Amino acid sequence: MTLNQGYSYRHVLGPSALGHTSLSYLASHYSHSDEAAWQARLEAGEVLLNDKIADGREPLRAGNVLVWNRPGWVEEATPQGFGVIFQDTDLLVVNKPSGLPTLPGGGFYENTLLSLVQIEFPDARPLHRLGRATSGLVLFARNPEAASTLSRRWTAVQKQYQALGSGVAELEAYDIRVPIGPCAHPRLGQVHAASVSGKPSRSVARTEERRSNSTVFEVDLFTGRPHQIRIHLASIGHPLEGDPLYAAGGQPRDDQPGLPGDGGYWLHAKRLVLEHPVSGVRLEFRSPLPEILNCG
């Protein structure tokens, strides 16, 4: 088994650091490891505070920079391919398989779509991300000018998905505006979910096909909150079939909720429509649906 090259996690601390030492902050804010594990990393010289090796006893304040230089580790296996849908000197559109993270994080660094794409297209930078289990279209910019233009116009980019929801839908269409924000999660501390104090969010879901115990939805995304479609369909009583994280109502499941990157559900980014950032030509891209999401 091959180790990756390791990764440096850099955190600029906010007001929540006040009253903590570097050890207590790491143990309380990053609960994937207990205090003993963080102490061992400190003793190994892996943690820096303001560019100096930390020993765990330093009092912290807002503005401090805490860095964990994680040594190389063996990553979980992921799909190692992607399909090129479109390319020119400004844009790249690829088809991401389910199971491949878009960006580094959650234990993945090299086994990501970004790493694989940059082997062939070193200048490509993603303009958005799909969840690990979500498949379909991902848009990359290939130079800073294209990235800047598309970022300014991002609300005009049309994004359409196909999803398999649990239960049989009663209505033909749902205009979902449930706010999304941080909520309690027993394993992570917090995760995004339906929240009255969250940020405004909008999805429009149309019933494509009713099945015996599930519904295929076509979903237009008008905002880009984390896990928005999963949360919004759950909020109307149709969580994605097999979703290990969200239950009806849009909250984390009560029965040992999974993690955001866990799979088991079907969600596919099937269509992107945008203006080319240089020529202004209207572009439309489509990705073939997984068999289970085909209708008729």
| Topology of domain 7-70, CATH | 3.10.290
pLDDT at 186: 76
Average pLDDT for 62-83? 93
Nearest CA to 123 out of 137, 143, 106 is that of 143
pLDDT at 205: 98
The domain spans of the chain are 7-70, 158-265
CB within 8 Å of 177: residues ≥ 6 apart: 200, 201, 202
| Distance separating alpha carbons of residues 69 and 8, to the nearest angstrom | 4
pLDDT at 184: 84
pTM of the model: 0.85
Instruction: Tell which CATH architecture fits domain 158-265.
Output: 2-Layer Sandwich (3.30)
Higher pLDDT, 122 or 8: 122
pLDDT bin (cut points 50, 70, 90) of residue 1 is: low
| Distance separating alpha carbons of residues 205 and 221, to the nearest angstrom | 9
CA atoms within 13 A on the CB side of 284: 1
Number of neighbouring beta carbons within 10 Å of residue 210: 14
pLDDT at 5: 85
pLDDT at 216: 98
Q: What is the pLDDT of residues 229-264, one digit of tens each?
A: 999 999 999 999 999 999 999 999 987 788 888 899
Q: What is the pLDDT of residues 81-98, one digit of tens each?
A: 999 999 999 999 999 999
- pLDDT beyond 80 at 63: yes
- pLDDT beyond 80 at 18: yes
| Distance separating alpha carbons of residues 164 and 263, to the nearest angstrom | 13
Q: What is the pLDDT of residues 276-287, one digit of tens each?
A: 999 999 999 999
pLDDT at 30: 81
Nearest CA to 37 out of 4, 68, 74 is that of 68
Nearest CA to 55 out of 44, 68, 67 is that of 44
